[in-house]
């Protein structure tokens, strides 16, 4: 009996090294540990052992079973853990990787630039801390114009201020270049106003100017209509309304049909069916003269968009402050 025990022990030990996969483990279990396996078989034989030998043989058998079970358990643990490491469930959904994205206002600025560059405009920039001269005087604002009021303008000193629009860059670029000049000027502007759903103290504009021989109002209209169709969609309807700006003559504002109600009238368009999207006009001869151009020889048009306003209109957002609260739940929608 002891010989048989040692044989089984030797056989189990001999196989230990080959127990590297589930099949081998199962074969081992069946041949040694199962109900019809060799260990159980030896326990069966215990009946034939004499009473005197039984305690010693029983003890040896128990030790054998413990050892064989140990071989099996150890090998199984190794196989199981390596299976976990190597098996990949390709049907599981991926873990989301949150990549940041451009802010809606930046996206819009880029879109303005893309569209106008494709129409032959350069992109130029000017200072945000501006002189009274470029912000107002050079643009024909009379000395008593309400826009100069402390209410609207952040003054740094009596003659230096935070620009209230990007229009002064028109003057700066025309002073530097000879016609033809065709450029847009995106940038940040500042107004000393109460923050509300409709206004902020800091926002963005995109001004544009084109001066050359024989530039007409019809070209202004054509350019703004082309932009509006690219940006808002080719099915929009538009209209031009006479308006007033000190630096353009004549001046006009362009409206498009309200995106929300398609012209029927709603809260967003204040029940008019129309939304104003841009101020514009023909560059005032005084300004052409001031930058050293001859208004008899060249003419030009100009326009100015409010960027945040454009964003609100296009996406149907009803509070401008949402753009700067930086709530990711809002921003990630765009």
Q: How far is CA 141 from CA 27, 101, 137, 207, 215, in A?
A: 97, 40, 5, 17, 24
Question: What is the length of the chain?
Answer: 334
Residue 106 and residue 134 in contact, taking contact as beta carbons nearer than 8 Å: no
CA neighbor of 311 nearest in space, from 239, 245, 242, 232 = 232
Q: Choose between 187 and 281: whose C-beta lies nearer to ligand DAH.
A: 281
Which one of 232, 303, 309, 313 is in contact with ligand DAH (CB under 6 A)?
303
Strand order in the sheet with 160-162: 129-131, 160-162, 155-157
Within residues 206-225, the interface with ligand DAH by CB under 6 A covers: 207
Which one of 169, 304, 311, 312 is in contact with ligand DAH (CB under 6 A)?
304
Among 149-157, 224-232, 257-265, 299-307, the segment contacting ligand DAH (CB under 6 A): 299-307
Q: What tokens were used for 187?
A: 């940038």
The residue written with tokens 């873990």 in the block is 95
Which one of 126, 186, 187, 281 is in contact with ligand DAH (CB under 6 A)?
281
Task: Give the x-and-dash track for 162-201 against ligand DAH (CB under 6 A).
Answer: ---x-x----------------------------------
Among 56-64, 177-185, 223-231, 298-306, the segment contacting ligand DAH (CB under 6 A): 298-306
CA neighbor of 204 nearest in space, from 119, 113, 267 = 113
Furthest-apart CA pair in the chain: how many Å? 133
Which one of 248, 257, 299, 310 is in contact with ligand DAH (CB under 6 A)?
248
Indicate whether 300 belongs to the interface with ligand DAH (CB under 6 A).
Answer: no
Q: Choose between 246 and 265: whose C-beta lies nearer to ligand DAH.
A: 246
Beta strands in 128-273 (DSSP E): 129-131, 155-157, 160-162, 181-190, 202-212, 238-245, 248-257
Q: How far is the CB of 258 from ligand DAH (least distance, A)?
A: 21
**Spatial distance between the Cα atoms of 281 and 291, rounded to a whole number of angstroms:** 18
CA–centroid distance for 223 within its chain: 29
Among 152-160, 268-276, 277-285, 320-328, the segment contacting ligand DAH (CB under 6 A): 277-285
Among 75-83, 85-93, 288-296, 301-309, the segment contacting ligand DAH (CB under 6 A): 301-309
Within residues 253-272, the interface with ligand DAH by CB under 6 A covers: none
Q: How far is the CB of 252 from ligand DAH (least distance, A)?
A: 9
Binding stretches for ligand DAH (CB under 6 A): 165, 167, 207, 245, 248, 279-281, 302-304
């Amino acid at each position: 009996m002891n010989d048989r025990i040692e044989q089984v022990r030797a056989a189990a030990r001999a196989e230990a090294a080959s127990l590297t996969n589930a099949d081998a483990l199962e074969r081992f279990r069946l041949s040694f540990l199962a109900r019809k396996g060799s260990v159980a078989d030896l326990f069966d034989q215990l009946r034939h052992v004499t009473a005197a030998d039984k305690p010693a043989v029983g003890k040896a058998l128990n030790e054998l079973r413990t050892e064989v079970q140990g071989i099996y358990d150890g090998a199984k643990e190794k196989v199981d853990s390596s299976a976990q490491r190597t098996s990949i469930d390709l049907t599981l959904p991926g873990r989301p990787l949150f990549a940041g994205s451009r802010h809606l206002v930046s996206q819009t600025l880029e879109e303005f630039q893309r569209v106008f560059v494709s129409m032959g405009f350069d992109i130029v920039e000017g200072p945000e801390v501006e002189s009274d001269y470029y912000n107002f005087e050079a643009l024909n604002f009379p000395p008593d114009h309400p826009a100069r009021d402390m209410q609207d303008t952040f003054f740094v000193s009596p003659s230096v201020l935070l620009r209230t629009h990007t229009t002064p860059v028109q003057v700066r670029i025309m002073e530097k270049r000879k016609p033809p000049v065709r450029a847009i000027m995106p940038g940040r502007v500042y107004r000393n106003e109460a923050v509300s759903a409709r206004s902020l103290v800091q926002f963005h504009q995109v001004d544009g100017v084109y001066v050359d021989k024989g530039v007409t109002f019809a070209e202004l209209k054509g350019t703004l209509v082309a932009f509006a169709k690219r940006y808002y969609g080719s099915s929009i309807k538009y209209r031009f309304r006479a308006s007033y700006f000190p630096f353009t003559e004549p001046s006009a504002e362009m409206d498009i049909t309200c995106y929300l109600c398609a012209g029927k009238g709603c809260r967003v368009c204040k029940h008019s069916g129309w939304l104003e999207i841009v101020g514009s006009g023909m560059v005032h001869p005084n300004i052409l003269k001031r930058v050293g151009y001859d208004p008899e020889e060249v003419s030009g048009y100009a326009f100015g968009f409010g960027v945040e306003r454009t964003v609100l209109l296009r996406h149907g957002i009803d509070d401008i402050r949402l753009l700067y609260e930086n709530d990711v739940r809002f921003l990630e929608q765009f």
